[in-house]
Amino acid sequence: MAARDPKEAAAIRELMIANRILAHQGVVDAFGHISVRNPVNPKRYFMARPRAPELVVEDDIWEFHLDSTPVEPKTLSIYSERYIHGGLYMARPDVNAVCHNHAYQLIPYGITETVMRPVLHVASVIGSEVPIWEIREEFGDTNLLVTDNDRGRSLARAFGRGRAVLMRGHGATVGAHSLKACVYVAIYLMVNAELVREAKKLGGEITYLNQGEIKLLDTMNFAEPPMERTWEYWCRRAGFATPAPAKPAKRTKPGAAKRRTRRR
């Protein structure tokens, strides 16, 4: 096999770490998956083989065309729900990373009339309201899984121009412009769900973020400093220490070393 382009190799490495982060944060357990669009060839994407995300290593990551067929034939099993990823990449050229998870905190919002809206400033990234995809509407009784391109396209339509969609009785799908942003949205979607549930226990009307706040907060939350800060934090907690930036060497005045030598 030919050596990978450095950008592809970096994307694969980052995708492996993203799997570990999502597992450590409780967004995924034995199930769930995340993918990233190939930075060199946008008509392909990378995704791990079926394995608990916490155990994924770089060699587990395979490459797929946007119709979700593998670039190279595989003798091992492939995720049956890879069509979630391919369908969204085909529908949204601006989406470069996709995560599907079964976070239990999200399930109640897909099976009740409680709307998922952001209440936390860092959760503005989930959008003003997260839609629900009801698989029965197009496909009748199913096992709720997205196992072909027709279902993948249907899910992408429900996803629309946002960053997340709930899947009735199944979980959620998140998509964003970068892998780090996708992880950020997936984590804070789950956190926001917990906060809304707790707020409802207190009674009274909940104050959600409004459109103006969401727009301003998106600019802040997706800026490079917050993205890098959270990524570094989550990497460290998942066991991937990122190197600290090198400190600049102290400048020595010309002749100082000689003067110190003469004094000895």
CA distance 169 to 109: 9
Question: Tens digit of pLDDT for each residue in 60-81?
Answer: 999 999 999 999 988 889 999 9
> pLDDT digit string (tens) for 160-192?
999 999 999 999 999 999 999 999 999 999 999
* Burial class (CB within 10 angstroms; exposed 0-12, middle 13-18, buried 19+) of 52: middle
Q: Which of 58, 81, 134, 224 is catalytic?
A: 81
Please check whether residue 34 is in contact with residue 97, taking contact to mean a CB–CB distance below 8 angstroms.
yes
Please return the burial class of 139, using the count of CB atoms within 10 Å of its CB with bins 0-12, 13-18 and 19+: middle
Does the 6-263 domain belong in CATH 3.40.225.10?
Answer: yes
Domain boundaries, the chain: 6-263
Our answer to whether residue 8 is catalytic in this structure is no
Tokens for 155?
A: 């899910």
- Residue 195: alpha-carbon gap to chain centroid: 20
Mean pLDDT confidence for 229-250: 78
| Contact (Cβ atoms closer than 8 angstroms) between residue 97 and residue 35 | yes
Whether the full predicted model's pTM is greater than 0.85, yes or no, is: yes
Beta bridge partners of 165: 173
Q: For 78-112, how does the pLDDT look when each residue is reduced to its tens digit (9 = 90+)?
A: 999 999 999 999 999 999 999 999 999 999 999 99
| 167 close to 158: Cβ distance less than 8 angstroms | no
